[in-house]
Structure 1
Amino acid sequence: MTKTRKPDSYWRDICLKYAQGQYHFSTGKRPGAKKWKKALEKIDACLLQSHSTKDLFGRSLRCSCGFHKSAIEKAHSEEWARQTIRYLSDCERHMKMATFVPTAAVYLPPPAFRPLPLAQWFETVHSNDILSHVDEMKGVITSTYGRILKMDSTKKITKKLAGGIGDSAAWMSNIGNEFGQVLNSVMTTGEGAGLEELCQGIVTRYKNAGQTEPEVVYVDRDCCSQSGVSSVAKLFHPWKSAVRLDSFHFMRRFNCGLTTEHHPLYGTFCGKLSSCIFEWDQEDVRRLKEAKRAEWKSSHSGHAPTEEQPPSAQGN
């Protein structure tokens, strides 16, 4: 019994729900006993509390607090009990319906409860399942192409690295297509390192698959050169694709002339600048309006929106 006059069973159930994300503590409602305070600290420090079962490199995360494992075992036992009750209920119903049958039906007892295997067993089964699909996954990953490529580098991903590899990389460079799919990535200790292998790997992939080279490659820097051939174009040799500065970093070049980004008209300036670069495709706008009108008709018994209807109903 804690100082709040709550039994240990109550706080154990609360911790299980908290580990599953089904319970949130309001201000001042956490347990006062050191035992359960320490338990909550373990849950917060557990890697599985982020509701992710894999780390950045696809390795399985293990529960260090014990409550996530307990939650799984509880769910397993509840599901077994639920299925057992359903089976016995069906047997009883069948027995009542078969009253006038001369031969009595024989019902097997429900399967006995079996505890969950160890975590190592689950990891082995999961690893074997992944290994059985390695060729398929490689084929899917290396069969991604695009006619417009975008190369960019970031530090955000490398900051998520933890443990012994926490300081092993400082930059992550990616090459994606016009659909937002990532074709290839590389982690390096400095910006610009490993880009030649990254780009030549994409060139080789296109060549082996018989794909035509992309029309344009967008970058965040080094798109131009006084000698006539940019350094990015050399990375994708022998492609003749155009190399252009992407629109976001093009707009950032104008922002460098501003004194602050906290000015009340900064958002308006960027919006106007964006409208000077982009324009609405009228064919896409027409299709969007038709889709919105069709959606309105399907939800209003086939009646088309009138001029008095709001613009959203008319597809404007």
Structure 2
Amino acid sequence: MTEGNFVDYVKVYVASGNGGKGSVHLHREKYITKGGPDGGDGGRGGHVILRGNSNLWTLYHLKFKKHFKAGHGGHGSKSRSTGADGEDVYIDVPLGTVVRDTETDNILFEITDDGEEKIICEGGMGGRGNWHFKSSTNQTPRYAQPGKPLEEKRITLEMKVLADVGLVGFPNAGKSTLLSVITSAKPKIADYEFTTLKPNLGIVEYRDYQTFVMADIPGIIEGAAEGKGLGHYFLRHIERNSILLFLIPADADDIAKQYDILLDELRRYNPEMLDKERFIAISKSDMLDDELQAELKIELDKTLPIKYCFISSVAQKGITELKDQLWSMLNH
């Protein structure tokens, strides 16, 4: 998936179909000059339906088509014939898509299951034909109901990456490098901040052909919860991960402090994030000799509140242990 094709936010206009008119018709045959009313009902207008599709990873297919209109219901006709229903329109979206009303910004619903269908705009009901209105006092009603009008909305589709493990860290902590080593993903890698502007997903292959999904998300910076840097654009993707893997480089001035800052950003954005399981990987540890690492370990055992391990993506050090740890956390 190239970075330009990763679209996770799109605004769309949707409109259902009008309901068909009921028919005003009186039965006429060769020898029946004054038959009763037999006008049929109008058909319902088409719905606009959002449908979850597990084969989609982005909203890229909606980047160029942003207007969706369902078909109108057919009008009723004689002999109590009901008009045809309008054609429904389906919009396929990836799992983890949040649907908002663009005007109010209220969340309408979220699509999380493959094949799940939600009507975003209901088609107008068809009007009833005049045969419904026949009574002992009015045997030839010359009126019928019009169809109900269509619904139209402007909606915002927002995708949250569905991954088992989300990588959290400051820019340039080595997240993209780790992802490229641990999965078959090909993220853009460079030693300057904010290389990753879009989330990268990778499949981690584990023992016995088992797999889990890891997401590298744009680097967090202090103030992201207020929208600094890439701010909310980045943080919303972490909401859907079941484990948060904090990546802190071994040459950081204060590893425990960096962890606290990262955790505080997540807490200020959404306190529920702190309910997720967390693990720390000390990256770039190929810079440490055995003696330095032993000293650092003594210090970290005192200051870090959760489990951690030393890794080096470049030297392939500690990668298997990291996979083992993540797998056991996902499957305990």
As a proportion of its length, which structure holds more helix? 1
**Greater RCO (Cα-Cα under 8 Å, separation 6 or more):** 2
TM over 0.5: no
Higher strand share: 2
